[in-house]
Amino acid sequence: EAGVVQSPRYKIIEKKQPVAFWCNPISGHNTLYWYLQNLGQGPELLIRYENEEAVDDSQLPKDRFSAERLKGVDSTLKIQPAELGDSAVYLCASSLLDGNEQFFGPGTRLTVL
């Protein structure tokens, strides 16, 4: 069974440029999470989807971050415009709707110059 797929794995951009990350969850997993992980820290939740509905986006900086999960499968996280402080690893995870265990993708490492 394929795991959570994320792309790109690495992205380097200049500040004020837009950037997008893509995630494909494990087949059949209704719940999808986007996390941000700074160096030396644990992941912090940005947004959680149940199917195509964002049920928890309280930690998403909505002035520059946006996310979508059309058709309730794969998801895109966008930053526009990127700032230096956005440099981090962006992790995607998925789980069954009523399941407990989260499965993580490899992450996208973003560097903003």
Partner 1 sequence: KQEVTQIPAALSVPEGENLVLNCSFTDSAIYNLQWFRQDPGKGLTSLLLIQSSQREQTSGRLNASLDKSSGRSTLYIAASQPGDSATYLCAPRHAGTYKYIFGTGTRLKVLA
Amino acid occupying residue 87: S
Residues 108, 19: contact at Cβ < 8 Å?
Answer: no
**111 touches partner 1 by CB under 8 A:** no
CA angle 92/94/97 to nearest 5° reads 150
Q: Given the complex with partner 1, which of 56 and 68 has the nearer CB atom?
A: 56
Number of H helices, E strands in the chain: 0, 11
> Shortest gap between Cβ of 15 and partner 1 (angstroms)?
23
The stretch near partner 1 (CB under 8 A) out of 14-22, 36-44, 65-73, 75-83 is 36-44
Interface ranges with partner 1 (CB under 8 A): 4, 6, 31, 40-45, 48, 56, 91, 93, 95, 100-107, 109
